[in-house]
Amino acid sequence: MFRWRKSLAFLAIGATATITAGCGSSSSSGNSVPQGLTGQQAQGYVNSQISNEDRSAATVLDPQPGSFLHGKTTVSVLGSTTPSNGDENPYAVWPVTHTVGTVKSGDVLVDDFNNESNDQGTGTTIVDVHTDGTTSVFADLPHTVAGCPGGVGLSTAMVQLRTGWVIVGSVPSTDGKTDTVGRGCLLVLSPEGKLVSTITGSYLNGPWDATVRDNGDTATLFVSNTVVGLAHSATAQSSQGDVVRLSLKQTTTSPPTVTAEQTVASGLLERGDPSAFVKGPTGLAIASNGTLYVADNLSNRIDGIPNALTRTTTAGTGMTVSSGGQLADPLGLAIAPDGDLIAANAQNGKLVEITTTGKQVGEYYAIENTGQDPAGNGDLFGIAINQAGNGILFVKDDENVLAELH
């Protein structure tokens, strides 16, 4: 999930140019092999030490006609996500929709969680991937910031408001291990990528992912927390992960500040992990009807939080929208133009499409890196629908690039 340790000595299958592939024919065999894996690689996959849950998710579910994934078989690499300082392990993906400050409409902002030594929770840069494939540094932040407990380690909690301000989460570590994880904060950056303020409070503890309902001078920001009640240990466990709603006010000249906060989900599983840093509630997506969807990573399900924009109490762990099947530790989450959910699997590099009624209607094996066990494990994280609404932007952690499925 976050630069996992490699456990198979096979060559990785990675995209360095445009690749055309499909999901293959349907299969329900426990030994099903992802398309593209043959010979020794395929046998290695069948013999790998993965759970029954992972094997179920490794079966093929061809996208149904009319689904958003249907007919999308091409992955194109858009650009590198590694800046000159060597930061790596790209997490958050934000498609820029209007020109403001130093970013232009069509650009994509991507942040890095690791430093050049591959230490988790120490990445400090946000890169701007331009439409011509070149990359520039949007923000290069200091390792320590006043008002951000523990330092800076940029997470998947990144949004840009209509006013141009960028808000990005920090889940920091001093040595890349969960033992030294800090509470973190939300960092507020100008449209030019300069740090202007921080957002901290008891409601933030390991801000891992975010989504926003933006109204201009006001906005509603949802943030998932993954370190609530988690002891400083690589194997600590807790059921106190949560999602908070932050009401913001801002103008083009005044950075966003919090005017109210409310916990809308709670009791979610979270855990430290020697190779994955931390696991817990991750991807967030807010629907037009006010339902908040949460990628409940450790429970292997997508949760629904009704009336998330207005509720005044927590919904606990919410209602189960979809679980099991093609899901394998869902992380990133996005809403397609047709209203379906697109989830990114941590365990096997798959994108899974789910209707709001919970039916899984298709999958695409975005990253078939057999250097991981199972293939693609830990390589797929942040996702977003592209600006044109006809493709999915995602990061390939195994290659430190931004890619697009179209």
Structure confidence by residue, pLDDT tens digits, 315-331: 999 999 999 999 999 99
What is the average pLDDT score of the chain? Answer: 88
Phi, psi of 58 (to 5 degrees): -85, -10
Please determine, for residue 240, whether its predicted confidence score (pLDDT) is greater than 50.
yes
Distance CA 232, CA 253 (A): 39
What pLDDT is attached to residue 17? 35
Q: Which of 245, 222, 238, 248 is nearest to 181 (CA)?
A: 238
Q: In this prediction, what percent of the chain has a pLDDT beyond 70?
A: 85
CB 367 within 8 A of CB 380: yes
Helical residues (DSSP H) of 50-205, grouped into ranges: 52-58
What pLDDT is attached to residue 388? 97
CB 242 within 8 A of CB 281: yes
Strand partners for 352: 343, 363
Distance CA 163, CA 56 (A): 44
Q: State the Cα angle at 143 between 140 and 145, rounded to 5°.
A: 95
Q: Which residue has the higher pLDDT, 393 or 237?
A: 393
- Residue 186: CB partners within 8 Å, gap ≥ 6? 157, 167, 168, 169, 170, 198, 199, 200, 204, 207, 223
Three-class secondary structure of residue 219 per DSSP: strand
CB 167 within 8 A of CB 256: yes
Mean pLDDT value across residues 169-192: 95
Largest CA distance in the chain: 59
Entry pTM: 0.89
Rounded to whole angstroms, what are the CA distances from 218 to 58, 117, 210, 326?
A: 42, 39, 16, 37
- Sorted by where each begins, the domain ranges of the chain are 19-405
- Secondary-structure percent of the chain, ordered helix, strand, coil, rounded to 5: 5, 40, 55
pLDDT digits (tens, 9 = 90+) for 144-176: 999 999 999 999 999 999 999 999 999 999 999
Phi, psi of 39 (to 5 degrees): 55, -130
Distance CA 385, CA 404 (A): 9
Judged by average pLDDT, the poorest of 152-166, 193-207, 282-296, 375-389 is 375-389
Distance CA 197, CA 357 (A): 40
pLDDT digits (tens, 9 = 90+) for 303-319: 999 999 999 999 999 99
Phi, psi of 227 (to 5 degrees): -125, 15
Please determine, for residue 36, whether its predicted confidence score (pLDDT) is greater than 80.
no
- The CATH superfamily of 19-405 is TolB, C-terminal domain (2.120.10.30)
For 124, what's the count of Cα atoms within 13 Å in the CB-facing half-sphere?
Answer: 20
